[in-house]
A and B are shown apart, each in its own frame.
Chain A
Amino acid sequence: MKNIFLFIRRYLSFFSFLLLQVIAIVMLSNSSKTHQAFFASTANEVTGNINKRYSGLRDYFGLKETNRLLAEENARLRNLLPANFQSPDNSKQHFVDSLVKDSLGHLRKYTWLPAKVVFNTYSLQTNYITIERGSDQGVKKGMAAICPQGIVGVVVETSANFSKIMSLIHRNSKVSAMLKKDQSTGSLEWDGSDPGYLTLRNVTKGAKVAKGDSVVTSNYSANFPSQLMIGTVAEIASESSSNFYSLKIKTATNFFSIQYVYLIENVRYTEQVQLETNTLKTP
């Protein structure tokens, strides 16, 4: 017994080294899978608060750009106002809609929330965006995040007042996308080299694709509404060993200067995901 204690004492530093290494590796492998590491959400709250102060300082430098983007978006939305359109002459036919309820039975599928970005990285392999809106303000895991120019990422972690978005430029990020022109879908990933470009894999070679084509979110995604802008095709590479193209996509979103994002909640997200995973389990 004494020898065991002596042995442990002698190699204390080696054992503690091994132990700490194992802890680190286990945390790493857990965090990249589930994003629910040890006390992650408390730490999120603490670092979120520090990030918020820093962001308050940095915001002044980005005001001009943010202003321009919002003005652009306003202009686009104003263009959609009914006041801009000349309505057809209907003086001869006159209908009075007596129904108060939407007789077509529309149900709401997506709700939108604005959120302020307090921290953003783009120089690492695993890039996250922290926003100041948490589970108390209605953020849930799996919500999609977009900005005025294009899509940004998916919420992976929430605490009371902050949330973390896995950016599109994250090595594990995967979003279902399609070509706007002929709706051939593929899976959107990031190869880790240039934050301005994404890769769209598994696009069938039957697709008629050209440089400059728009890429939008597909109809298959559970968290993103369809037809949201992602980017444009910058380079076409056909994989000789398979029947697929892999396309280089120039992102519409400028990941270096995101100030505000909109979070989109699919009201039926859980239902859809549950059904999809259930089906996968049965052989």
Chain B
Amino acid sequence: MSSLLKNIIRFVLFILFQVYILNQVPPLHQFIVPYIYFLFILWLPFNISHFWLLIISFVFGLTLDFFTGSYGLHAAPCVLIAYIRPFLLNLLIPQDTTEQSYIEPGRKSMGWAPYALYVGILSFVHHFYLVLIEWLQFGTFLYFIGKVAGNTAISLLMILIAELLFNRTGRYRATK
């Protein structure tokens, strides 16, 4: 399956999963809202250009916003993590080898530890920014800290489960 087709399918599935399953979960606690949709951005291929990465993330975030009715609330954090992503990847993975032999970030292409750090930092940034925007409109400081921590923890848990469930092969890229 081509990388483009695979990512289009992922786009649709992540949105549907977030809207129709996770957003339908009865509230567990006021600090915990399960979010996993942004994993789509973390799984985008290495070789995508920075500009298109931003555009795709913006459209992706906005699509979710159309379902939840708060236009721009999810688009802004998505664009932020898409902007940080290439810099973080440059820091975390050995240059010249991984990017050329693997298609997308994953535990096989990067190794468990760097991949966990990559996912952890980006989830934290995503939730920090998302809750910050919410908090500026309303809320207290305790709510802000608690919600960032709660959301990040539940997201990381779900990403771990997703990694264990879907054994992405992390295929070698065909040599050109």
Give the B-binding residues of A (Cβ under 8 A).
Answer: 12-14, 16-17, 20-21, 23-32, 37-38, 40, 43-44, 46-47, 51, 54, 121-126, 128, 157, 164, 171, 192-195, 256
Contact = CB atoms under 8 A, between A and B. Distances in A.
Nearest to B26: A256
A47 B64 CA distance: 10
B51 A12 contact: yes
Size category, B interface: 20 to 34
A38 B71 contact: yes
Contacts of B73: 28, 126
B58 interface: yes
B168 interface: no
Contacts of A27: 71-72, 75
7 contacts: A12-B51, A16-B51, A21-B76, A37-B72, A121-B24, A123-B25, A124-B70
Interface in B68-104: 68-73, 75-76, 79-80, 83
A24 B72 contact: yes
Given A13-B50, A13-B51, A47-B67, A24 B75 contact: yes
Interface string B40-57: 000000000011001100
Nearest to B84: A17
A16 B138 CA distance: 29
B69 A126 contact: yes
A16 B54 contact: yes
A169 to B, nearest CB: 10
Interface of B: 20, 23-27, 30, 33, 50-51, 54-55, 58, 61-62, 66-73, 75-76, 79-80, 83, 133-134, 137-139, 143
A21 B50 contact: no
Contacts of A122: 26-27
A69 B6 CA distance: 45
A253 B61 CA distance: 31
Task: Classify the interface of chain B: helix, strand, loop or mixed.
Answer: helix
Contact of A28 (B33, B50, B79, B133): B133
Contacts of B133: 25, 28
B139 A25 contact: no
A32 B27 contact: no
A32 B70 CA distance: 7
A120 B33 CA distance: 16
A44 B33 CA distance: 24
Given A17-B79, A28-B76, A171-B137, A37 B71 contact: yes
B28 to A, nearest CB: 9
A122 to B, nearest CB: 7
Contacts of B58: 20, 23-24
Contacts of A31: 69-72
A21 B80 contact: yes
A121 B104 CA distance: 33
Given A17-B79, A27-B75, A28-B133, A126 B68 contact: yes
B27 A194 contact: yes
Contacts of B139: 192
A170 B127 CA distance: 20
Contact of B72 (A23, A124, A171): A23
B70 A121 contact: no
A62 B139 CA distance: 34
A43 B69 CA distance: 10
A28 B27 CA distance: 24
A38 B24 CA distance: 26
B33 A43 contact: no
B75 A20 contact: yes
A121 B68 contact: yes
B30 A194 contact: yes
B108 to A, nearest CB: 28
Contacts of B27: 122-123, 194-195
Given A20-B79, A21-B76, A24-B76, A121 B66 contact: no
Given A28-B76, A121-B23, A123-B25, 8 more contacts: A16-B54, A25-B76, A37-B72, A123-B23, A123-B24, A126-B70, A126-B73, A256-B26
B71 A125 contact: no
Contacts of A25: 72, 76, 133
A123 B38 CA distance: 18
